[in-house]
Amino acid sequence: MRKNLLLSLIICLLFPGFLSAKGITAEPAFWWSGMKNPELQLMVYGENIASFRPSVSYPGVKLKSSVALESPNYLLVYLDVENAQPGTFDITFTKDKKQIKMPYELKARKKDACKIKGFDSSDVLYLIMPDRFANGDPSNDNLVMKTTYKTDRNNPSARHGGDLAGIEKHLDYIEDLGVTAIWLNPVLENDMQGGSYHGYATTNYYRVDPRFGTNEDYVRLIDKTHAKGMRVVMDMIFNHCGSDHIWMKDVPSKDWFNNLDKYVETSHIKEVYFDPYASEYDTKRMVDGWFVPSMPDLNQRNPHVATYLIQNSIWWIEYSGVDGIRQDTYPYADYKMMVDWCNAIYREYPDYNIVGEAWMNQTMGTAFWQKDSKLNERGNTMLKSVMDFRLMGLSHSAFFGDAGGMQALYEHLAYDYAYADIYNVLRFLDNHDTDRFLPAMPEKLDAFKQGIAFMLTIPGIPQFYYGTELLMNGTKQKGDGYIRLDVPGGWPGDAVNQFEASGRTDIQNEAWNYMQKLLKWRKGNEVIAKGKMKHFVPQNGVYVYARNLNGKQVVVIMNGNAKESVLPLDRYDEILKGYTSGKDVITGKVVSLQKELTLGAKDVLVLEL
């Protein structure tokens, strides 16, 4: 009896908020009737549960199979709920004369739940690391978890206390800036030794980390974001979980993970996917190796692992109404499983969008991963959106260097032909894994303004990292924590509040206002979201390009020189013919487009014609 009580206590600690009945838990805790895929996998956990036989008696619910794993404490129950109506029913587990009844609920789907429209090129994503943005609820800063950690804002590698309440508190700030979607770094539980503030070591796939808030808090944040006309993108990780996940404490089966007996680190050489000469050894090392020792590599070739992960994504979309997914370390997971995952998502939500982190150093490598790529002979990935890491890297030098930077940008965009859908390419200056776009606080904003204007006017989906509008700066030289800084004013007692104009310096307000002006101008601007692009080879360090749609046109002119330049305009007749002037989006001034144009040092003009 004492042993059973102890196990029940452990289960409650490991699976808080999950469905529990007499010492067993089930994931997911509930499901919905009316889904396109009629199959439901339940992972049931409890002492020697594999020795019990499940049964169900409810109209429309059929027990397809039950699978016992190597650990006797797991039982996978597969149900067919195709014809089931919403309601609660019992799943009975029988062993000899002993029975355990576990009530299970099928919920009714919300009206039009399948019609969620994912983010697209009309959006601008704003990436937030929840632990570092704002602390709206200090009471959850030091909750007791299974593992030890400290909340210490003086330690760049520790938790700082940011949470969902802090983001919710500053939704007006985000809306006022002009972005249209929020991408949050992972919010699921990371009950890891030391705290795992970044969120990339999941220890519970169905629970928001309580130091960020509750599942209900997450849903409320999404609802309030929707009410302001913005979307939310959820960060997910299929390649690995955290080493303190229950699966590592009580391993379901030997093939639940890759390289479980002997640690093998991934090579990170993602080129093996399209390298015509790649060896099987190198391919296996890349896919099956662990990211780091604290992130064990999940084996998605195991069909039960694959089903668990796919179903978990659908659960979060249906439960929370989240508008899109950013999938971490995309090429590190099993290729076929990721195709199946994309198809499963689109089957339930046809207008959904997923962006995959395929961190490639060359355009061709990135384009390989996009849905319908002609460069991919391995098979259609079905991944709608990819991330342009090559452009991110170029941006750190192109805008801060000499006039040659304009040529580098031109040459990079010339390779856009490789993409199957350029409007579903995520473009960005930096993110939580890279040096900040600004290596240090600038004395003037020439490079900043060119970078912002460029990202907001080229084809694709722009993404900005929180704090860019405040001129946050830094490099990874001393560690990741130095590019993941707290926003001043986000914590009670902060001496400065940069969420308010009064708390920002003059140059910060200049940057914020510039970015806001362009963001609000871009919102609803179909010329930028959907228009075609035409550009000209940079001449004398000046880069000119145009976006046009249905007779409307926007022309961008960037001077890469650190001195004034005079630009003869006859070369650009095919985009300027018939126009004598254009309106500068930033200043509202009319700019003459006759014969020649004088540009200030490092100038950038965004002109509506």
| pLDDT tens track for 88-137 | 999 999 999 999 999 999 999 999 999 999 999 999 999 999 999 999 99
Of 328, 334, 340, 446, the catalytic one is 328
Full strand arrangement of the beta sheet holding 98-107? 30-32, 98-107, 87-95, 53-56
Counting every residue, how long is the chain?
609
Q: What is the pLDDT of residue 458?
A: 98
> In the structure encoding, which two tokens stand for residue 43, read together?
């992972």
Q: Which residues contact 350 (CB under 8 A, 6 or more apart)?
A: 114
pLDDT over 50 at 11, yes or no: no
pLDDT over 50 at 13, yes or no: no
pLDDT over 90 at 287, yes or no: yes
| pLDDT tens track for 265-284 | 999 999 999 999 999 999 99
| pLDDT tens track for 586-609 | 999 999 999 999 999 999 999 999
Mean pLDDT to the nearest integer, 502-524: 98
Q: Are 541 and 560 in contact (CB under 8 A)?
A: yes
Q: Which helix (H) or strand (E) holds 8?
A: helix 2-14
Q: What is the pLDDT of residue 15?
A: 42
Sign of CA dihedral 146, 147, 152, 153: negative
Q: How far is CA 385 from the centre of its chain?
A: 11
Q: What is the distance between the alpha carbons of residues 304 and 568, in angstroms, rounded to a whole number?
A: 65
> In the structure encoding, which two tokens stand for residue 285, read together?
């090392």
- Mean residue pLDDT of the chain comes to 96
Q: Which residues contact 277 (CB under 8 A, 6 or more apart)?
A: none
Q: To which residue do tokens 């694959």 refer?
A: 306
DSSP classification of residue 561: S
Mean pLDDT to the nearest integer, 308-327: 98
Q: What is the pLDDT of residue 31?
A: 98
> In the structure encoding, which two tokens stand for residue 31, read together?
């499901």
Provide the percentage of residues in the chain whose pLDDT is more than 90: 96
CB half-sphere exposure, 290, CA atoms < 13 A? 18
Mean pLDDT to the nearest integer, 522-527: 98
Q: What are phi and psi of 538, to 5 degrees?
A: -55, 135
pLDDT over 90 at 1, yes or no: no
pTM of the model: 0.95
Q: What is the pLDDT of residue 5?
A: 42
| pLDDT tens track for 134-193 | 999 999 999 999 999 999 999 999 999 999 999 999 999 999 999 999 999 999 999 999
- CB neighbours of residue 2 within 10 Å: 6
User: Concatenated DSSP letters for 242-308?
Assistant: -TTSHHHHS-S-GGGBSS-SS--B----GGGGT-TT--HHHHHHHHHSBSSTTS-BB-TTSHHHHHH
Q: What is the pLDDT of residue 85?
A: 97
Q: What is the pLDDT of residue 18?
A: 41
User: b vs e for 143-175, b when ≥16 Cβ sit within 10 Å of the residue's Cβ?
Assistant: eebeeebebebeebebbbbbbbbbbbbbbebbb
| pLDDT tens track for 414-453 | 999 999 999 999 999 999 999 999 999 999 999 999 999 9
DSSP classification of residue 432: T
DSSP classification of residue 495: S
| pLDDT tens track for 332-379 | 999 999 999 999 999 999 999 999 999 999 999 999 999 999 999 999
Mean pLDDT to the nearest integer, 208-231: 98
Q: What is the pLDDT of residue 6?
A: 45
Q: What is the pLDDT of residue 21?
A: 64
pLDDT over 60 at 223, yes or no: yes
Of 357, 430, 469, 486, the catalytic one is 357
Q: Using omega within 30 degrees of 0 as the cis cutoff, is the peptide bond preceding 28 cis?
A: yes
Q: Which residues contact 386 (CB under 8 A, 6 or more apart)?
A: 355, 356, 358, 366, 367, 369, 370, 419, 424, 425, 426
pLDDT over 70 at 20, yes or no: no
Q: Could you confirm whether 608 is annotated as catalytic?
A: no
Where does the pLDDT of residue 23 fall: very low under 50, low under 70, confident under 90, or very high at 90 and above?
Answer: confident
> In the structure encoding, which two tokens stand for residue 158, read together?
């520790």
